Structure 1
Amino acid sequence: MRFSHFFSSATVLALVAAVAADAASDVINLTSDNFDAVVNPSSLILVEFFAPWCGHCKALAPHYEEAATALKEKDVKLAKVDCVDQADLCQANGIQGYPTLRVYRHGDYTDYTGPRKADGIISYMTKQSLPAVTDVTPANFEEFTKADRIVAVAFLTSPANAPGPEFIMTANKHRDDYLFGASADPAVADAAGITPPAIVLYRSFDEPTTEYPYPVGSAKSQDIEAWIKELSIPIIDEVNTENYQTYAQSGKPLAYLFVDPTDARREEYLSALQPVASKWKHNLNFVWIDAIRFGDHAKALNLNEPKWPSFVIQDIRKQLKYPYDQSQEVTAEEVDKMVAQYVDGKLQPQLKSQPVPETQDESVFNLVSKQFEDVVFDDDKDVFVEFYASWCGHCKRLKPTWDSLGDRYADVKDRIVIAKMEAQENDLPPSVPFRVAGFPTLKFKQAGSREFIDYNGDRSLESLVAFVEENARNPLDPKIPFRTKNDTQAQPETHEHHDEL
């Protein structure tokens, strides 16, 4: 049977054109078979993880091709991974959205943060190909150390000697974050008053000059990186939408002073708090925030009154809030005491909670923060909780199905709880090992366990029931007798006679 019986001539021509175009492409196709072999040896390569059905990927494709051709002359490679065809490879690399672009250097990557047009890609990757470390000379030393908010300079005995190679690795990783320079010229070290080898950080805030305090000869890239990151955050500075991620990614709790920016005493408040912030800098990041612009954020941190200044500590990782009593005046002395209690683990978080419902008439249990631990950590019961937000459209669509799930197990409430909790009105207690990041979030806790199982299936009743039946430890057929541990403990002991062998 001839080929033409299956395909039209137009289809054949299209396939031939597609093969020819792919053969002529300057973008390298990566698969699980060649990914490591291509990426790991490359000093610089841009990799796009894409899905063929993705509209943004389709729009990027011609620009990516054009940039690949232009950058080929500069020995800068561009590559792509089809995440439908190479699903396991993309999953192994933690790809969660399309397109995801990463700049790799010898197997290590940083996120691509440049434009998505051809000329922008070319410009960005050209800069990436240039040395990450500027050669510092006696002529440019003064200007260079003031050229950016944070400037790191390595004073070396020779470029090859420590900490030169590790410093270059740090610079390559953070070339978009900070300015890096190096010099092996004794005249530059003399001008700086530094004895090589040394690394010095120059800042436009706080202490303007800080020398690396540990043995510099044994400094590794991760040590230098951690040191710069620590010093890149001011003792106390304004936080806003532009720099919040810097604080969030630091891993430290955030201590906010909410201030009305038009208040004539604003600088007085900040000056008073400066010594406290300096004292506890290694434990928390201190910031001030526009209380008028970010009033809703204040409420989210359990500062319920529009009274400024107000102070609150937030454990960003656990999403726990420790507000200062708003009925009391904010003073540096009291803030210092509060922070000391927090650092010592003696300060209790304030949990937002709706009132405990007077009745529970529905088949789905209406859960609030005040009773979370008693209900969810009941060892006798399996518990399936939906964390929702009242405004969430997906949650509204799930509601009738979730109600039906509750109805299905209404006759076995003594052994399984189907519950719902308004997550934006109820904080999770510190004993809970997860935070809710999206809505709806569905979590299952088995009887006798403190571990939570994520539900990631579809939202049909059949799938939810199958998940419950698979994971529940208690019998869910009401005809099967069920006795809780407490019931068992309450039973009188019986002594049966048995002959011994």
Structure 2
Amino acid sequence: MVLVSSSIFLAVTLLASLIGGHETSTDEKSKVLILTEDTFEQALTSFPLLLVKFYTPWCSYCKALAPEYETAAEQLAINDLPLAEVDCSVDEDLCTDNDVDSFPTLKLFRLGIPNLYEGPRQSEAIIKYMRRQALPTVTHLTDKDELEKFTRSDTLVIIGSQQHENDTFGTVFTTLAQQLRDRYLFGWLDAYNKTDLILYNNHGDHQMEDIYTGDLTDADQILSFIRRHATPVFGEIGPDNYLDYEQAELPLAYLFVDSDTMLASFRDTLQSLAKDYRGIMNFVYIDALAYPEQAEYLGIDTSNNNAQLSLWPAFVIQDTKSRRFVLSSTKSEEVDALSIETHVRLFFQNKLVPFVASDPVPESNTDAVKVVVGSQYHELVTMSDQDVLLEVYAPWCGHCKALAPVWTRFADLVQQQQYPLRVAKMDGTTNDIPPDDPATFDVEGFPTIVFIEAHSHRIAFYSGNRTLASLAAFIHEQQQQQRIMLELPIDELDEQKDTTLDDNHDHSTDEHKIDNTEQPLEETTTTTTTTTTTTPFVHDEL
């Protein structure tokens, strides 16, 4: 069995003369190589495979990574796989040249070509990643004994074989291996195998086999199959594996628990459900005490102060449209094995009502700018007899704050002239636009301004200059059937002439963009509308 290309280990004898060790806090020689502007290029030439950490001494996340990185370097030194680091507070230009814009940044250089490392920042994950990188893209296996050993050498191992003559499958398999080698291990059985493509999942105590039965020449279909079966049957979700669940593009069922004892009481039920719905829905458990923000985002009211009412366990299904279906004691619902089974069955029967994030309905809503909350979106926007001009904003957004007085003045003019338009605003960080609503739309940044036509629910996004004149021009363009025009003050008419050219600028680029990298979990949660997401476990500092 061919495991490692010998070219990976060229020039290891240059290690000491090229870099030299440095003293750790315990005065022991560190295995992490220190690179500078003078030695960086030479290192890339000398080491065909080199992982480099770009960091700054003041970065708290860099400090947390340091011992993990050192441990990984010590273990990988056994395999002659070097790890290196660059202090960006010293070699700023070097870091800039390597497109480093956050700390820490880890990049793998293969024959001098960089590839961003996006995996967990624990030593075990880094070690596994580097050893995987040292293997051939596809490891060729010659017999069943090699197959047995190889399929247990990583968390997820993908094996192809040539049961039938199909040169295209071999090409597709190799291409996918090149694309996914950062995360999975690929092997090819030259001898006869019972199927052409099998995934060996080694999460937990027992190995599970997922057999692919689709088109062997369809790379997209194979990729989808891999991603849908890359996760444990029922496992814990966290910063190390959220990407697997995101890329699966399947509904995700969360069990929130606050103790191992509570988890144990549900494990058999959830394991059974997960096997029944394998490849259709993923099931996970999550530490409710460690990630309360995720519970809030998914629709569980953690503010309940009733000491007699325990928040946990709770169960939530989030579908691929980011709709959330909550089963929680805070909704006076019993959460047990039977209710979870029923909840899942009703989900697939489309009989559950999704949770919609919403602020409380305002006690008074008589101002010129109408306040829209999630629970009233359908009433105030979708069912409005008048066209609606809606701003979705964030309280912390600087552009939103700058727009606020203009928006209020525009609404005052509309109200004073009894112009047929409803001007409204909605806090996009605490309210959802119902995803199945006829007037739904995606929010990708703040502020987002949309015109929603009454009855037809036609939606037009506004990206012009944020002035009264430009807003009025946009409305007149959308309401061409209207015989009356919104009258502006004289100074605004003069401004309209001055801003004609400026309206050619796409102000959508001025928005505070929302990172739509999909779900799970984050220490700081950002809620958006419609395609509501939380940025996954962000830990980088600028």
TM over 0.5: yes
**2: CA distance, partners of 1:200 / 1:66:** 41
Distance 1:416 1:121, change over 3 A: farther
Spell out, residue by residue over 1:292-319, the C-alpha distance to the aligned partner (whole angstroms, 9 max, x if none): 1111221222211461111112235244
1:177 is aligned with what amino acid?
R
Equivalent position to 1:477, from 461, 470, 485: 485
Q: Aligned to 1:409, what secondary structure does the other structure show?
A: helix
Distance 1:333 1:409, change over 3 A: same
**2: CA distance, partners of 1:294 / 1:215:** 38
Q: Contact 2:358/2:432 (CA < 8 Å) preserved in 1?
A: yes
2:404 is aligned with what amino acid?
K
**2: CA distance, partners of 1:333 / 1:341:** 12
Spell out, residue by residue over 1:124-172, the C-alpha distance to the aligned partner (whole angstroms, 9 max, x if none): 5999999521222347433321221111111225997453222122212
Q: Contact 1:301/1:323 (CA < 8 Å) preserved in 2?
A: no
Pairing of 1:63-462 with structure 2 (within 5 A): 115=106, 121-122=112-113, 124=115, 132-138=137-143, 140-156=146-162, 161=167, 163-184=169-190, 186=191, 189=192, 194-195=193-194, 198-205=196-203, 208-210=207-209, 212-214=211-213, 218-260=216-258, 262-305=259-302, 307-326=311-330, 327-378=332-383, 380-413=385-418, 415-429=420-434, 430-431=436-437, 432-462=439-469
Q: Contact 2:159/2:197 (CA < 8 Å) preserved in 1?
A: yes
**1: CA distance, partners of 2:210 / 2:318:** 31
Q: Aligned to 1:302, what secondary structure does the other structure show?
A: coil
Gaps of 5+ in 1: 1-61, 75-97, 102-112, 480-501
2:291 is aligned with what amino acid?
F
Distance 1:263 1:114, change over 3 A: closer
Q: Contact 2:172/2:217 (CA < 8 Å) preserved in 1?
A: yes
TM-score, normalised to structure 1, is 0.64
**1: CA distance, partners of 2:176 / 2:107:** 26
**2: CA distance, partners of 1:154 / 1:378:** 55
**1: CA distance, partners of 2:262 / 2:322:** 33
Distance 1:413 1:134, change over 3 A: farther
1:466 aligns with 2:473: yes
Gaps of 5+ in 2: 1-36, 50-95, 117-129, 305-310, 488-542
Q: Look up the match of 2:75.
A: none
Q: Contact 2:198/2:212 (CA < 8 Å) preserved in 1?
A: no
TM-score, normalised to structure 2, is 0.60
**1: CA distance, partners of 2:163 / 2:171:** 12
Q: Contact 1:302/1:350 (CA < 8 Å) preserved in 2?
A: yes
Higher Cα radius of gyration: 1
Q: Contact 1:314/1:321 (CA < 8 Å) preserved in 2?
A: yes
1:433 is aligned with what amino acid?
T
Distance 1:328 1:373, change over 3 A: closer
Q: Look up the match of 1:12.
A: none
Distance 1:459 1:159, change over 3 A: farther
Q: Look up the match of 1:26.
A: none
Q: Aligned to 1:406, what secondary structure does the other structure show?
A: helix
Distance 1:367 1:253, change over 3 A: same
Superposed structure 1 runs of 4+ greater than 4 Å apart? 98-101, 113-121, 123-131, 157-160
**2: CA distance, partners of 1:120 / 1:369:** 53
Q: Aligned to 1:434, what secondary structure does the other structure show?
A: coil
Q: Look up the match of 2:522.
A: none
1:171 is aligned with what amino acid?
A
2:457 is aligned with what amino acid?
R
Q: Aligned to 2:267, what secondary structure does the other structure show?
A: helix
How far 1:201 sits from its partner (Å)?
Answer: 1.6
How far 1:414 sits from its partner (Å)?
Answer: 5.7
Q: Contact 1:258/1:289 (CA < 8 Å) preserved in 2?
A: yes
Considering only aligned residues, what root-mean-square deviation do their CA atoms show, in Å? 3.8
**2: CA distance, partners of 1:362 / 1:223:** 53
Q: Contact 1:253/1:285 (CA < 8 Å) preserved in 2?
A: yes
Distance 1:200 1:282, change over 3 A: closer
Distance 1:181 1:421, change over 3 A: same
1:247 is aligned with what amino acid?
Y
Q: Aligned to 1:163, what secondary structure does the other structure show?
A: helix
**1: CA distance, partners of 2:415 / 2:287:** 49
**1: CA distance, partners of 2:447 / 2:97:** 25
RCO (CA 8 Å, sep 6+): is it higher in 1 or 2? Answer: 2
**2: CA distance, partners of 1:393 / 1:351:** 26
Identical aligned residues as a percent: 31
